[in-house]
Amino acid sequence: MEGLIPMLDSIDSIVWGPPLIALLVGTGIYLTARLGLIQVFRLPLALSLIAGAKNRGEGDVTSFKSLCVALSATVGTGNIVGVATAVKVGGPGALFWMWMAAFFGMATKYAEGLLAIKYRSKDENGEVAGGPMYYILNGMGEAWRPLATFFAAACILVAYFGIGTFPQVNAIVDSVNLTFGVSKVATDAVLTILVAAVTLGGLKSIASVADKIVPFMSAVYIVLGVGMIIAHIGDVPAAISMILSDAFTGHAAMGGFAGSTMMMAMKNGIARGVFSNESGLGSAPIAAAAAKTNWPAEQGLISMTGTFIDTIIICSMTGLALIFTGVWSGDAVGAQMTASAFAASFGPSGAVVLTLSLVLFAFTTILGWNYYGERAVVFLFGTKGLMPYRVIFIALIASGAFLKLEAIWILADIVNGLMAIPNLIALIMLSSVIVSETKLYMEHRKLHGDE
């Protein structure tokens, strides 16, 4: 394992080098410009559609449930452990770069959701099949099938070795062990049984669990975060000032923190931001494709709110908690670091609530990513590949508790980057379709309201 981490670090540095960061943020900036700052001017409409969409049209689940499936995959360890990792390595300035990635990522997420509806199809079981592999193939043509195949293969790798399994399992077993003293093996065994019970039921089973857990867990964490901000209201200006200055100068702190450059803050902020909200990754449109709607742009707007909720609200609360309490410059890492911050403000009960939030966040992320991997398997191998995929996925959940944290996050970063590349290429090439569909929907709303 000792020789593995330097090797993974080298690969990670290549994958997450300046070209991918430029492509990721550049795509968001390009779409923001072409769509006329849609994430600013259409955010109130997007938020109103979460509960107000009419759910007319073909699809397997309501728009709200498809958003919950997408949020179940994004609101996870990235919001608690990922933010802690970014701030630990990149300094407080990493939070600024998370915000930047999220702001432009909202336009990217809008485009992904729109194209998912525009180019979705059906599999041999009659279930909706959609996502980047379908908008690459159906939108860009058969000549681009290798790119669609690459995306689907990378998606399975992320489900198996990235966001979908190891970081989530590791976070659950570590936090339950630290807070409640339950053995990692026992927690992993229970988790494996629960995951198997839900995932074998397919999308409707996952959506049914997600639309109950996601709103509840998000509300609990937001209440906790607001409480933290109120308790430290006098520290807010200094914290914001530190985030902004460190974003461009880097930061060196005492106590186990070696130092940070601007590039380190930017790399960690953007990479962790993508890990958390998945804008540009191409995962959320796989869930968006199943929504009951006739309007691609409508689902695009609903999808866009996922990045706003995930990063602008939830990740910000975690980051501010770490800075308010000063734990970011201490010796704690990962989930323990965030737990220390909440315990410092709310006592032992704060750490308990955080642990329960983390367990629910991570559990639903596992469910969401199982579904994403399934859709990629269907694209590559047809429905006959589903059961072998599920068996391997459940086996990986069972083994996820025994891997080293550092190696897990580096591996997750690498496969995330590989998945983003074909999706971002497709978004740029199909940008004219995105603009025309947006105009069509906005003109319809002007004439007919929300009919």
Structural domain range at position 235: 4-448
Residue 167 to residue 181: CA distance in whole angstroms: 20
Predicted confidence at residue 55, as pLDDT, reads 60
Dihedral angle at the C-alpha atoms of 347, 348, 352, 355, nearest 10 degrees?
A: 80
pTM: 0.86
Handedness of CA 257, 258, 264, 267 (dihedral sign): negative
Structure tokens at 153: 């293969």
Alpha helices in 75-165 (DSSP H): 77, 83-90, 93-118, 132-140, 145-161
- Residues 139 and 430: their CA atoms lie apart, in Å, by 7
> What pLDDT is recorded for position 413?
76
Q: How far apart are the first and last CA of the chain?
A: 58
Residue 373: name the closest of 359, 358, 391 by CA. 391
Query: Structurally, how many domains does the chain consist of?
Result: 1
Tokens 């360890």, located at residue: 77
Nearest-10 crossing angle of helices 431-448, 93-118: 80
Radius of gyration, CA atoms only, the chain: 20
- pLDDT tens sequence for the chain (451 residues): 566 778 888 888 888 777 888 888 899 999 999 999 999 999 999 888 887 666 666 666 676 777 776 676 666 666 777 788 788 877 888 888 888 888 999 999 999 999 999 999 887 777 788 899 999 999 999 999 999 999 999 999 889 887 778 878 888 888 888 888 899 899 999 999 988 888 777 667 776 777 777 778 778 888 888 888 898 899 899 999 988 888 887 654 433 444 456 677 777 777 767 767 778 888 889 888 888 888 899 999 998 988 898 888 888 888 898 999 888 887 777 777 888 888 888 888 888 888 888 888 888 888 888 888 999 999 999 989 999 999 999 998 988 777 666 677 777 778 878 888 999 999 999 999 999 999 999 999 888 766 5
Cα–Cα dist 282/288, whole Å: 11
Give the H/E segment covering residue 165. Answer: none
The backbone torsions φ and ψ at residue 128, rounded to the nearest 5 degrees and listed phi first, read -65, 135
3-state secondary structure of 61: strand
pLDDT at 139: 95
**25 in Cβ contact with 100 (< 8 Å):** yes
Name the one residue in this structure whose structure tokens are 């900036």.
29
Question: Domain with 161 in it: what CATH number?
Answer: 1.20.1740
> CA angle 410-311-54, nearest 5°?
125
CB within 8 Å of 23: residues ≥ 6 apart: 420, 421, 424
Residues in the chain: 451
Instruction: Give pLDDT, residue 342.
Output: 85
